């Protein structure tokens, strides 16, 4: 820190001092008749270039020092060994998106934990289906998605993609099948377009389409620089601060841009107001298109539009079926949760 400050001070003072001395020396020499006016220009030009170069070196040293701190963190991160089993199979690219996922008797404990977060989960996703995963907080919904995306491997059991253990696939290839909006998604201090595309170069038309599907046309219309408007004010004075709901919609647009066969939304409407939430639900079919969608929520009213609903409780799948079928089981967990939430809404007058 101290050296950084010293370098900064030197880089400001030295060139000025140096130039002053040189000007004085050259002028005195010229005044004494040692050389003509042409030589003065030549000397001053040479010295200006030299001092510019020296300034560049000092600036470079300063930046290297300032960045060293972040680089250390980055290298420490990059040095973390990857213990994950790396398969080499490629995932078949299918234009009909006919991928089938199966959880076969999967149990999972977080590293260092004695209790199971998931217990004997067996489940099959039908292609093109809208699957809702519901349950109280802590019932294992997010863990289920983390295993699906191979952020962790199951402690017991196996997950299959088109009949093959997902560990056998090349990880990058496997991930290309999924678009996920996690609850703790991150936006970057970059233009809106790059936030949607998650890349520096992008297909503008497709970005616009995804923004429109996610219900952000209104916001885009009001932006001073359109797609080039920066999110956040970290690097751009003119950047915009987005609300929680707008952020969530940008994250949804990003997941659409990837155009993967599966779209997974983990509580995607948690930060949205009731009107925006309703808007997303009613457009859900259009948003999802022919993809297979997995939709996680603890708000049951938002899952009615799904073909199949899976109810998690304490890490286990305890019920599965359509909304009507599940609701008809009067003493089932789904009916219990549904009635509890309906009562709450009626009491609060929110519905
Ligand atoms: P849900 O998404 O249904 O709210 P989670 O899948 O997040 O539930 O959590 C299931 C269980 O796993 C909970 O008991 C939770 O405390 C535990 N859990 C979640 N994440 C971790 C973690 N990173 N480390 C240890 N335990 C965790």
Q: Determine the Cα–Cα distance for residues 81 and 204; give it in Å rounded to an integer.
A: 38
The enclosing H or E element of 37 equals helix 37-78
Ligand 1: atom nearest CA of 146 is: 6
Enumerate residues 6+ apart whose C-beta is below 8 A from 91: 161, 169, 170, 173, 174, 176, 177
Residue whose Cα lies nearest atom 13 of ligand 1: it is 138
Give the residues surrounding ligand 1 with Cβ less than 6 Å away.
Answer: 110, 113, 117, 135, 137-143
Handedness of CA 219, 225, 227, 233 (dihedral sign): negative
Q: Shortest CA distance to 64 belongs to which of 149, 3, 140?
A: 3
CB-CB contact of 134 with 298 (8 Å): yes
Ligand 1 atom with the shortest distance to the CA of 315: 10
pLDDT at 96: 66
CA of 119 to the centre of ligand 1 (A): 13
Of residues 241, 247, 289, 240, the one with CA closest to residue 270: 247
Predicted pLDDT at 351: 41
CA distance from start to end of the chain: 57
Ligand 1 center–CA 318 separation, angstroms: 18
Listed in sequence order, the DSSP H helices in 79-121 are none
- Tokens representing 153 are 């491997």
Residue nearest to atom 19 of ligand 1 (CA): 143
Query: Which residue in the block uniquely carries the two structure tokens 């490629």?
Result: 90
Beta carbons within 8 Å of 272's beta carbon, 6+ residues apart: 244, 245, 248, 249, 280
Nearest CA to ligand 1 atom 5: 140
Q: What's the confidence (pLDDT) of residue 194?
A: 93
Q: Indicate whether this model's pTM tops 0.85.
A: no
Report the nearest atom of ligand 1 relative to the CA of 136. Answer: 3
Q: Which ligand 1 atom is the nearest neighbour of the CA of 144?
A: 6
Please state at what angle helix 2-31 crosses helix 37-78, rounded to 10 degrees: 170
pLDDT along the chain (351 residues), means of 10: 72 80 84 80 84 85 87 91 82 74 94 92 85 89 92 94 92 89 87 91 91 87 86 84 86 90 81 72 76 83 82 92 88 87 57 41
Query: 37 alpha carbon to ligand 1 midpoint, in Å?
Result: 79
């Amino acid at each position: 820190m101290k050296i950084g400050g010293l370098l900064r001070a030197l880089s400001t003072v030295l060139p000025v001092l140096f130039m002053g001395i040189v000007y004085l020396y050259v002028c005195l020499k010229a005044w004494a008749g040692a050389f003509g006016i042409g030589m003065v220009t030549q000397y001053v030009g040479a010295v200006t270039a030299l001092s510019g170069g020296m300034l560049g070196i000092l600036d470079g040293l300063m930046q290297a020092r300032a960045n060293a701190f972040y680089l250390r963190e980055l290298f420490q991160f990059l040095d973390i060994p990857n213990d994950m089993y790396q398969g080499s199979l490629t995932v078949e690219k299918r234009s009909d998106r006919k991928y089938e996922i199966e959880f076969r008797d999967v149990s999972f404990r977080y590293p260092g934990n004695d209790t199971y977060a998931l217990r004997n989960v067996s489940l099959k996703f039908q292609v093109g289906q809208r699957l809702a995963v519901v349950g109280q907080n802590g019932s294992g919904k997010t863990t289920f998605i983390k295993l699906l995306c191979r952020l962790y491997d199951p402690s017991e059991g196996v997950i299959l993609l088109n009949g093959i253990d997902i560990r056998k696939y090349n990880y990058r290839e496997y991930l290309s099948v999924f678009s996920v909006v996690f609850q703790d998604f991150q936006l970057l201090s970059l233009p809106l377009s790059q936030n949607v595309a998650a890349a520096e170069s992008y297909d503008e038309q497709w970005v616009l389409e995804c923004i429109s599907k996610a219900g952000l046309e209104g916001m885009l219309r009001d932006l001073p620089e359109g797609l080039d408007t920066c999110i956040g004010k970290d690097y751009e004075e003119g950047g915009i601060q987005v609300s929680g709901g707008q952020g969530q919609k940008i994250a949804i647009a990003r997941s659409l841009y990837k155009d993967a066969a599966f779209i997974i939304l983990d509580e995607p409407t948690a930060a949205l107001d009731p009107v925006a939430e309703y808007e997303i639900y009613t457009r859900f079919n259009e948003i999802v298109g022919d993809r297979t969608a997995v939709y996680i929520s603890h708000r049951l009213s938002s899952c009615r539009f799904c073909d199949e609903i899976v109810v998690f409780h304490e890490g286990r799948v305890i019920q599965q079926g359509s909304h009507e079928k599940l609701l008809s089981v009067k003493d089932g967990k789904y009916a219990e949760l549904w009635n509890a939430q309906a009562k709450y809404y009626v009491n609060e007058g929110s519905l």
